[in-house]
Amino acid sequence: MARRVSCSIVSVLILAFFFVGCLSFLTAEEVPLRFKNASRLCNAKPIVTINGMFPGPTIYVREGDQLQINVTNYAQYNMSIHWHGLKQFRNGWADGPAYITQCPIQTGHNYVYDINVKGQRGTLWWHAHILWLRATVYGEWWNKDIETSVNQANKLGLPPPMSDAHTINGKPGPLFPCSEKHTYAQEVLPGKTYLLRIVNAALNDDLFFAIAGHNMTVVEIDAVYTKPFTTQVLQIAPGQTTNVLVQMDRTPGRYFMAARPFMDAPVPVDNKTATEILQYKGIPDIIIPILPQLPAPNDTSFALNYNQKLRSLNTRQFPANVPTKIDRNLFVTIGLGVNSCPSCQNGTQFTASLNNITFVMPRIGLLQAHYFNTKGVFETDFPDKPIKAFDYTNAPLTANLATQNGNDNDTEQNANARMQGIAK
């Protein structure tokens, strides 16, 4: 049976946050739309909220449910909602990335996402999906308007500005200024085991996460059961989810949960520590919590070790059905190129690429172009391997780092301007 949820996007920027669990379904009540100022780190700014909430509401569904989510955009930016990690089997129209599977929802318009939840169980999440507007309900906070800052950085060819804080449940924790009253404390009962649903909602940062004094048993990642393993520290990539079991078996007290980025390349990241508090019932707020030990920000061996522990559960009930017959081999390198940019500060601009080809934002959704067989929107000759072989992993890279455009009909500046609603 279809279930219908109304979500209203409000305010200046957008934000969203949500989980799919295997619990019962809650119908979100429609909440009157309102612009909302959020304040963190002594700075207030307007942000987009969903149903007036920051972070947005949680949606609980059962496996097998069909969901209809009616998103109405009352913000002044065009945007869409991406249902991150939900497998949209032959259902691409409901996936949500703007200009990929749909045009963004314009201000004052709505779009109904029709989703079947099949073959997945655990935690997934949703968020706004257009450029850096996806930063709003995310796990990072910028004091300045992030859309403006990113546009300025792009014009100058500079890396995007670092965030001012990571957050946990929208809050940076008491290690930050003006954050005492914005600290999240989770009350727990001694002797119980809790399931924590953890989402890395940062834009680009891999994160370490730990709870002082407590081990975590990883049981599910990205809505797939894993072979359980116990660890003191999690590593979680942006967009990834991890469910863990935690036993409250320590001396009742207050313990910090903490998150900080992992970065072992020479790239500046916001390496401050976000915290929230695990608080045993009955323990007064005046007790100062203990901080967990996190690996050093550049601890490559921790990262390699941790990732080797990730295995699917692979039981008869939950098999890992990996296709073993290969029809066509693809070799795709993901990289950061450097293109010449005469108007940029250093005459160059960083450019993300696959097989040294840069994506250029199209004028209409790619799925739409595919469906209506519209020519000139995308090309179908993406190479099975990089056109020019190079040393893919070693530094320093001295070869020509320039990329090619995936679409000859447009410029990136035009595409960016269109996304901001400046050009049509």
Residues that bind Cu ion (CB under 5 A): 82, 84, 239
For Cu ion, the closer of residues 239 and 292 by Cβ is 239
CB of 399 to Cu ion, least distance (A): 32
CA angle 171/175/179 to nearest 5° reads 45
For Cu ion, the closer of residues 202 and 246 by Cβ is 202
CB of 82 to Cu ion, least distance (A): 5
355 phi-psi bin (left φ>0, alpha ψ -120 to 50, beta other): left
- Distance in angstroms (rounded) separating the CA atoms of residues 297 and 269: 10
Instruction: Write out the E strands in 107-223.
Output: 110-116, 125-128, 140-141, 165-166, 185-188, 193-199, 206-211, 216-221
For Cu ion, the closer of residues 82 and 171 by Cβ is 82
For Cu ion, the closer of residues 83 and 142 by Cβ is 83
CB of 96 to Cu ion, least distance (A): 9
User: Encoding tokens for residue 292?
Assistant: 């967990």
Output the CA–CA distances (angstroms, integers) from residue 209 to 30, 199, 200, 304, in the order listed: 34, 11, 10, 16
For Cu ion, the closer of residues 35 and 93 by Cβ is 93
- Candidates 46, 237, 239, 206; CA nearest to 129 is 239
For Cu ion, the closer of residues 134 and 363 by Cβ is 134
Q: Which residues are paired to 136 by β-bridges?
A: none
CB of 393 to Cu ion, least distance (A): 26
CB of 201 to Cu ion, least distance (A): 9
Alpha helices (runs of H) in 93-143, residue ranges in sequence order: none
CB of 98 to Cu ion, least distance (A): 12
Three-state secondary structure of 348-413: EEEEEEECCEECCCCCCCHHHHHHCCCCCCCCCCCCCCCCCCCCCCCCCCCCCCCCEECCCCCCHH
For Cu ion, the closer of residues 40 and 82 by Cβ is 82
For Cu ion, the closer of residues 82 and 182 by Cβ is 82
For Cu ion, the closer of residues 133 and 258 by Cβ is 133
φ, ψ of residue 210 to 5 degrees: the values are -150, 160
For Cu ion, the closer of residues 9 and 294 by Cβ is 9
CB of 88 to Cu ion, least distance (A): 13
User: Encoding tokens for residue 2?
Assistant: 């279809």
Output the CA–CA distances (angstroms, integers) from residue 328 to 274, 331, 355, 381, in the order listed: 44, 10, 17, 15
CB of 18 to Cu ion, least distance (A): 11
DSSP state letter for 343:
T
CB of 84 to Cu ion, least distance (A): 3
Name the residue with the smallest CB distance to Cu ion.
Answer: 84
φ, ψ of residue 89 to 5 degrees: the values are -65, 115
φ, ψ of residue 73 to 5 degrees: the values are -100, 110
- In b/e form, how buried is each residue of 135-170, taking b as 16+ CB within 10 angstroms? bbbbbbbbbebbbebbbebbeebeebbbbbbbbbeb
CB of 83 to Cu ion, least distance (A): 8
For Cu ion, the closer of residues 167 and 273 by Cβ is 167
Helix then strand then coil, % of the chain, to nearest 5? 10, 30, 60
CB of 105 to Cu ion, least distance (A): 16
- Distance in angstroms (rounded) separating the CA atoms of residues 75 and 8: 9
Cβ contacts of residue 144 below 8 Å, gap of 6+? 45, 161
